[in-house]
């Protein structure tokens, strides 16, 4: 019955045309369907990953989490029933709209609409990105992650851990409180920031090449006000990324190089080094929070924190050693 990945996301917006341009020409997703009130986008062989509906507001629509098969979906529904969580079976029409075989629908304590599904439709048609990118890192890791606002962490953690089966990855308390949860080797598929409100803080997608992120950063700098967080590297999930403001005024993180964790042998820890190893000046935080984050990054540099890159087969080459000191550290690198 275990949830496996974040499979798809739906959004509500007043600005469908802006979202169509942003998702395709900036993020590089493939626009596959557009009607008067809806646009859907591919990221890989799935028929759709992101669905944007034009409504009278700017808000989350739904978050779709995948299970293995019909038996797993039935088991998940039975678990919700045991925990007295109200849910509804999705209609055939809704399943067709989501391009899945079957699904159930319910809400979390913060009011977010959650959908659990199985049997996502795939296509043999090649993925055609909206701009020239290498592609997105998805597959068994899911489409990326969602970081959500919450009024109080304690209101949502028991629901996501004890009922939905998420596992806590880690957390930090400075410059703000954030808790990260995983389903698979992606460091987190969902996270919550205790901000006293609800809604989306940011969504993240991960590309296959660092150059994709750098080129998107160049595009974003054509409109500097669109950059919410500068280029940098996170300490906990080790992603290189920057954040831009989406047409719905929440942030979208565009990243590369996330770590892969071992979900079965993971030790939870409080991250005291702050959210970022370097970079990531957060324009959306208060001046006081920005100063705390900056001092944490400076402390990281003074402590000499360095983290190897997380690469995939085909997107890197091993450079020839040219430094005697570096060569002398080889035994330590292999055992460290």
65-100 per-position pLDDT tens digit: 999 999 999 999 999 999 999 999 999 999 999 999
DSSP 214: H
Question: Would you say how long the chain is, in residues?
Answer: 336
Closest CA to 244 of 7, 21, 3, 1: 21
Q: How high is the pLDDT of residue 336? A: 46
Q: Are the beta carbons of 89 and 106 closer than 8 angstroms? A: no
Determine the distance from the C-alpha atom of residue 139 to the mean position of all C-alpha atoms in its chain, rounded to a whole number.
Answer: 14
What distance in Å separates the CA atoms of residue 270 and residue 172, rounded to the nearest whole number?
Answer: 6
What distance in Å separates the CA atoms of residue 324 and residue 334, rounded to the nearest whole number?
Answer: 16
Name residues of the chain where pLDDT drops below 70. 1, 334-336
The full DSSP string for 93-132 is HHHHHHTSSEEEEEE-TT--EEEEEE---B--SPP--SSS
Model-level pTM?
0.95
| φ/ψ of residue 253, rounded to 5 | -90, 130
Q: How high is the pLDDT of residue 323? A: 87
């Amino acid at each position: 019955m275990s949830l496996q990945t974040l499979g798809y996301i739906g959004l509500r917006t007043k600005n469908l045309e802006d979202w169509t341009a942003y998702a395709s020409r900036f993020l590089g997703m493939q626009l596959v369907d557009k009607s008067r009130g809806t646009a859907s986008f591919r990221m890989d062989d799935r028929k759709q990953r992101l669905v944007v509906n034009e409504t009278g507001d700017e808000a989350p629509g739904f978050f779709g989490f995948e299970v293995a098969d019909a038996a797993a979906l039935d088991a998940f529904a039975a678990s919700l029933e045991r925990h007295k969580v109200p849910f509804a079976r999705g209609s055939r029409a809704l399943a067709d709209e989501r391009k899945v075989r079957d699904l159930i629908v319910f809400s979390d304590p913060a009011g977010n609409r959650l959908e659990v599904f199985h049997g996502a439709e795939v296509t043999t048609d090649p993925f055609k990105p909206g701009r020239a990118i290498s592609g997105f890192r998805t597959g068994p890791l899911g489409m990326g992650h969602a970081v959500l606002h919450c009024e109080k962490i304690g209101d949502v953690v028991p629901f996501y851990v004890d009922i939905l089966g998420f596992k806590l990855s880690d957390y930090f308390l400075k410059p703000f409180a954030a808790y990260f949860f995983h389903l698979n080797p992606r460091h987190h598929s969902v996270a919550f920031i205790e901000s006293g409100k609800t809604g989306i803080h940011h969504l993240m997608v991960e590309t296959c090449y660092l150059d994709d992120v750098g080129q998107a950063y160049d595009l974003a700098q054509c409109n500097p006000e669109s950059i919410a967080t500068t280029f940098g590297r996170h300490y906990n999930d080790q992603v290189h990324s920057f954040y831009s403001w989406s047409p719905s005024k929440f942030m979208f993180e565009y990243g590369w190089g996330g770590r892969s964790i071992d979900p079965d042998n993971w030790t939870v820890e409080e991250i005291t080094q702050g959210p970022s190893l370097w970079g990531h000046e957060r324009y959306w935080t208060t001046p006081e929070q920005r100063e705390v984050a900056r001092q944490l990054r400076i402390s990281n540099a003074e402590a000499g924190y360095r983290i190897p890159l997380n690469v995939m087969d085909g997107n890197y080459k091993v450079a020839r050693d040219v430094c005697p000191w570096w060569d002398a550290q080889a035994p330590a690198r292999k055992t460290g």
